[in-house]
A and B are shown apart, each in its own frame.
Chain A
Amino acid sequence: MSTGSILLWVALPYACAVVFIVGHIWRYRFDKFGWTTRSSQTYENRLLRWGSPMFHIGILMVIAGHVVGLLIPREWLYAIGIDEHMYHLGATWMGTAAALLTLAGLAILIYRRRTVGPVFLATTKMDKVMYVFLGLTLGFGTLATLVYQVFGGGYSYRESISPWIREMIIFQPHPEMMAEVPLFFQLHIITACLLFALWPFTRLVHVFSAPVGYLFRPYIVYRSRDESGAGNRPVRRGWDPVSTPQERKSSSSR
């Protein structure tokens, strides 16, 4: 096993995962105010109306596909009656459709970013870097699917990539599993790792605020002093206001 493959298939993914996790925690603590979609819809709506839903619906389908393909062992799918053939058809065709939808949406969004004056001016450096890595990851992924699955003989990544990831998750790295994987899949994985490392420092953090709670809360929100404590953020350790022990007790039980 070469140093190169250890670097690429063990060190890089773990390093990116650490940056991803620690980065999110740090960003959330340091910069809640910057945690937003930074919508640009007030500037322009004609293109966004198409681009944004296409991209988002596509990417959510893509993510769902990855969960099924990578994280769920195929034996489990066999057990509920999804055999190799069915899976291959589904993954290839639905995957291709989702990829095309995503890429078309992304193309509209990037075209809009570049050509609509106010939107371009509101685009940060981080946005640009993010779009490069997002585009590369999506591009290599689609390319791999087209080259090996649609036009090629079909590559069974559920025998190499999927177990590699699952073993990584339980801290049993097996870089040798990745040695024989075709080039475009390898590139797809490397750019994806880098995208994850960038993630906490871009607007993509909005993904983790997907407002599912909205479905379950009452419409009108009241906030009382008792609930919000001393302010908008929890008091940092060591900075509790001077108080008697009784007070401290009752306030910590809030």
Chain B
Amino acid sequence: MKVMAQMSMVMNLDKCIGCHTCSVTCKQAWTNRSGVEYVWFNNVETRPGVGYPRTYEDQEKWRGGWTLNKRGRLKLRDGGRLHKLSRIFSNPKLPKIHDYYEPWTYDYDMLLNSPSGEHTPVATPKSLLTGKDMKISWSANWDDNLGGSLETMAQDPLLAKMSEEVKAEYEQAFMFYLPRICEHCLNPSCVASCPSGAMYKRQEDGIVLVDQDACRGWRMCISGCPYKKVYFNHRTGKAEKCTFCYPRIEVGLPTVCAETCVGRLRYIGLVLYDADAVAAAASVADEHELLDAQRNVLLDPNDPAVIEAARAGGIPEDWIESAQASPIWRLIREYKVALPLHPEYRTMPMVWYIPPLSPVVDVVTNSGNDGEDASVLFAAIDKLRIPIGYLAELFSAGDTAPVDLSLRKLAAMRSYMRGISLDNVRDESIAQAVGMSGAQMEEMYRLLAIAKYEERYVIPPAHAEQAHDLEEMGCSLDFEGGPGMGGAGPFGSSSGEPVPVAIENYNSLKSRQTADRPSTPGRVNLLNWDGNGKPRGLFPPEEEK
């Protein structure tokens, strides 16, 4: 047993209102630069829908992730090392920018400087790739709220796996949002696909990063990731990806997407896992067993043997305590309501989801029934086979049982808690029907519904004695062309001496937050802002009294 710590996230889909705040704040913090205009480290998809980039889930086409070879051993779906190198001069599985969307801006000058005339001036869209006028025909969330879905929804790779009549009925019955970031997988196929070894998993917290100094632009990671969460910066010629906001995590702050989430639906915490068991768990033959295999890779942080091994493995005491208090462990292993996204890709993803019950409740209440009665809800879950089948394609390789159980638990929690607040009865039988106790129901309710800040985010800061080492590990995006940088060096936009990420260390964070002036006048770096105080330039000035 080799105990390692992993920083992970759970999202409670029931609460997502599809506002895209997470995407926007993430973009402001990380990808508001030229070269990554089309990149959303965090994106929110309406499902059913084609996703971003379009049809990324169709692995027959994109060939990301892992499969098993004839001898039952893991291999990259798009072929091993030699095969990859043989296709390095032109990577046949690389998505084009147009598979994401062609980025654009508007000719705002027209609005201000056009001469007065009969018609209102219009700011025409200009392509950021060619500089020419363009017709906007796709974006990162073009089919938002099922807009235009009659035309595109049939391309949803998950629907394609389901039968025809399903589609029509489904379209009217069901819709939900799926926010996605990099999964920071335990068995990352992006890392395995990188020819230069520039991508790595951080041993301390499992965050998967790209060393910008070592990336050589072979662009194999982009096709290697089945979630398409590594992106190509077309100006700098380097791969970039979600960093789990590691400069924030290191000082104990949650990621920007989590901090700003309107629905407060994101949970962040540590889990301990057995690194020696990962490969075996990822190569379980039956896809339906992958979920349980991955659950079992996670180790019980309260088990004395695990604690012993964690200490031996050099995991600091307060990190072990954090793992014990982790909301992630409880949601994944104790309550078993959280499920991984596409376990069948065999990358062992570590951003998990609590499937949405609200569409089921909506159907029940719209038909005039009681949406908080456990037996009514159970019956509805039994009846609504289609949405459940769809959720199962997302979260459990098509096996409906885990989704079913998770939704039943949520339904049971609803009616159990209603019993308490309306009739002041604790109906233990409701809890037992889903294999839980009343006390557990209340705890789960506290975590999911009350969702206190300190309970959602249990993030131990990196150690002072480690901080010096952690902060300068090579994933700075603060280069020329990085956040806050502009202009071009002698060899184009990507050249010049890197500015190490040590700038983002705790002390400068603190001084930025308490300084009376922003260090970059007129700009506020949301990465450093923890929501306290009022940095200049973020809010309009207060009215003079």
Residues of chain B lying within 8 A (CB to CB) of residue A244: none
Residues of chain A lying within 8 A (CB to CB) of residue B197: 211, 213-214, 217, 221
From B232, B491, B494, A39 is in contact (CB under 8 Å) with B232
Is residue B510 contacting chain A, with contact meaning CB distance below 8 A? no
Bound-state CA distance A45–B94 (Å) is: 9
Which listed segment binds B: A70-78, A135-143, A148-156, A223-231?
A223-231
In contact, B200 and A117 (Cβ under 8 angstroms): no
Which listed segment binds A: B358-366, B440-448, B495-503?
B495-503
Using a CB-CB cutoff of 8 Å, which residues 29-59 of chain A contact chain B?
Answer: 30-45, 48-49, 52-53, 55-57
Q: A38-B237, A220-B188, A223-B203 are in contact. Are A211 and B218 (CB under 8 A)?
A: yes
From B85, B191, B234, A42 is in contact (CB under 8 Å) with B234
In contact, B211 and A232 (Cβ under 8 angstroms): yes
Residues of chain A lying within 8 A (CB to CB) of residue B238: 33, 36
Is residue A1 contacting chain B, with contact meaning CB distance below 8 A? no
Residues of chain A lying within 8 A (CB to CB) of residue B491: 31, 34, 124, 126, 201
Bound-state CA distance A225–B494 (Å) is: 27
Name the residue in B82, B217, B476 with the highest tally of chain A Cβ atoms < 10 Å from its Cβ: B217
In contact, A36 and B473 (Cβ under 8 angstroms): no
Minimum CB–CB distance from A153 to chain B (whole Å) comes to 37
Is residue A5 contacting chain B, with contact meaning CB distance below 8 A? no
Interchain pairs with CB closer than 8 A, number? 177
Residues of chain A lying within 8 A (CB to CB) of residue B469: 225, 228-230
Number of interface residues of B (CB under 8 A): 67
Across the interface, name the chain A residue whose C-beta is closest to B466.
A225
Across the interface, name the chain B residue whose C-beta is closest to A57.
B89
In contact, A36 and B203 (Cβ under 8 angstroms): no
**Contact mask for chain B residues 187-207; partner A; CB cutoff 8 A; 1 contact, 0 none:** 110011011110111111000
Is residue A206 contacting chain B, with contact meaning CB distance below 8 A? yes
Minimum CB–CB distance from B196 to chain A (whole Å) comes to 5
Bound-state CA distance A203–B448 (Å) is: 52
In contact, A241 and B468 (Cβ under 8 angstroms): yes
Which listed segment binds A: B43-51, B125-133, B142-150, B325-333?
B125-133
Is residue B415 contacting chain A, with contact meaning CB distance below 8 A? no
Bound-state CA distance A57–B494 (Å) is: 27
In contact, A117 and B130 (Cβ under 8 angstroms): yes
Bound-state CA distance A230–B473 (Å) is: 7
If over half of B's interface residues share one DSSP class (helix, strand or loop), that class is named, otherwise mixed; here it is loop
In contact, B94 and A41 (Cβ under 8 angstroms): yes
Across the interface, name the chain A residue whose C-beta is closest to B189.
A219
Is residue A237 contacting chain B, with contact meaning CB distance below 8 A? no
Is residue A233 contacting chain B, with contact meaning CB distance below 8 A? yes
Residues of chain B lying within 8 A (CB to CB) of residue A37: 216-218, 237
In contact, B496 and A39 (Cβ under 8 angstroms): no
Minimum CB–CB distance from A107 to chain B (whole Å) comes to 16
Across the interface, name the chain A residue whose C-beta is closest to B99.
A42
Bound-state CA distance A22–B83 (Å) is: 35
Using a CB-CB cutoff of 8 Å, which residues 218-235 of chain B contact chain A?
Answer: 218-219, 232, 234-235
Residues of chain B lying within 8 A (CB to CB) of residue A49: 90, 92
Q: List 28 A-B contacts (CB under 8 A).
A: A30-B497, A31-B495, A33-B236, A34-B236, A35-B216, A36-B236, A38-B217, A38-B236, A42-B97, A42-B232, A52-B90, A122-B234, A211-B88, A211-B197, A213-B196, A214-B195, A215-B82, A217-B197, A219-B192, A220-B187, A221-B194, A221-B197, A223-B200, A223-B203, A225-B470, A228-B473, A231-B502, A233-B474
Interface residues of A (CB under 8 A from B): 30-45, 48-49, 52-53, 55-57, 117-118, 121-122, 124, 126, 201, 206, 209, 211, 213-215, 217, 219-225, 228-233, 241
- Given A42-B94, A42-B234, A43-B97, 17 more A-B residue pairs with CB atoms under 8 Å apart are A30-B496, A33-B496, A33-B498, A34-B495, A36-B237, A37-B218, A38-B236, A42-B97, A45-B96, A121-B129, A213-B197, A214-B196, A214-B197, A219-B192, A222-B200, A225-B473, A232-B211
